Structure 1
Amino acid sequence: MRLFIILFGSLLFSYGQEKVLFFQTDWGNELSWDAFCERAKTSGYDGVELWLPAASDKQEALKDALKKHGLLLNLLHGTNKGLPFKESLEQYKSVLETLMLWKPVLINSQTGSDFFTMEENRAFIDAANTISAKHNIPVYHETHRGRFSYNLPDTNKYLNLIPDLKLTLDISHWMVVHESLLQGKDKLLGEVIKKSNHIHARIGYAEGPQVNDPRAPEWTNALERHLGIWEQVIRKGWKENNGVVTVTTEFGPADYMPTLPYTRVPVTDQWQANVFMMESLKERLKLNK
């Protein structure tokens, strides 16, 4: 099994027992990097997951904040669907090479397009696999609406075609795509779980990719369904990755978060929803807090 050792600044994190590394999303964040990282650390997170800021001064501020608060880093990447295929592919490869220089724990990729052919989408996956192997940093392809992995049966076709395809499982997208909690689809889900190496933890339902408040009793069935699928991924990952699995809590801000009409005030607190996701998984898995 692969020994999961992360070198971050002067800190060496080595885990030989079952553990989940939790990452907080910066989606919708309006705080400074220092304040955001401080809040993530004090909330119990091991790291943060984000799109790399373009400005050099913001990049330096991010580096300083990560080091100051002892946080790990996941980076986000994606295919530019607004460009023609060949141009988009070259941009994808170029940016991915740049992201590798940051030595993140992993790169989460929103890959390809539901309007690209299977061959075109495969070109992005193959490029990511090649660059990942070159730098020894994993690239996981997120199950996501609008991408090659926008639904369960088509994702299984890619898994059959590309044996080394590695996924980030964001099952919330498929709940709304398939207008169900995917009851009775455990055989297809089983193949996805085998190839899932990272989790985006958000609760979806038949009418949307994000419930208004995961703590509300009306969402108990949806919460339990997601937790059950995630638990399978995590327990599988513990066996394969020296007892360490990564999870990003990813409830989003307005308007992904439902809002009140006219005022656009979010109906619940995004940060609290994400911390609830982390605590729910810890309770489910009986992890030490």
Structure 2
Amino acid sequence: MTADTVTDVFEEHRPVLLGVAYRMLGRVADAEDVVQDAWLRWSAADRSEVREPRGYLVRVTTRLAIDRLRQVKARGETYVGPWLPEPYVTDFGAGVPDTAERAVLADSVSLAVLVVLESLSPLERAVFVLREAFGYPYADIAAMLERGEPAVRQLAGRARKHVEERRPRYEVDPVQRRDLTERFLAAAGEGDLEGLMSLLAPDVRLVGDSGGKAKAPLRVLETADKVGRFLHGAARKGVPAPSFRFLELNGGPAILFLSDGRPDSVFQLDVRDGRIQCVYVIRNPDKLRSLAFV
């Protein structure tokens, strides 16, 4: 391979590698670091022995992500308040039609699922991501992780059971979700408490992630009354900032609020049966940096 070919092959597979790393880590910066390390491994590898570049690169990326996860767990890092993944701009490209495949990819990167994945072991998480999000056969995953296929099947079953027990148990209508997001924005922006309350499910939850670096609840808020009054009070105080844009983040519609042109906060909603079930609010500035360029 020429130097140009080596680069072209890697760039062809970069979106997949970033997708694997992000689902493994839940952090855009860490995922990009892992992909950069994968590039260094690829550029230095004896490529005459690489029969299938995509499989090789996914294997390297997965192992690097596992190592990164283990380092994080070993440090026993503490986080101030609830933790949410770093927002991830999702564009599955023209190669992924608007079908069940797109729905699977969107679900596997949703905030709700990534929060559940945080509680898996690094190996369980790797097997779940490779199998459920990218559809790799068990034999291929076993080879990537240098584990026996029966062991990989056990890991997959354990991870799937764990995720299914904790993920939201409802189908999401993308059109309804976008409509509710727009109505939510209008009610909050107009200070319409009654209108806001009408959109919330009785058992709605609000999860705010600030990392202690911005104003957000340090505990999960529950019930329509508490969540509605919090949102109404925050809007009256000018939080979030008035300037905004709609984005697709983590497989669904989201609102990015800006302050002086810089990302201030992200709001995203989980919906069911025409009501808002959960409000995710991300205000940790460290998690919003990558959105400054979208």
The TM-score, its normalising length taken from structure 2, stands at 0.30
The higher radius of gyration belongs to: 2
In proportion to residue count, which structure has more helix?
Answer: 2
The TM-score, its normalising length taken from structure 1, stands at 0.31
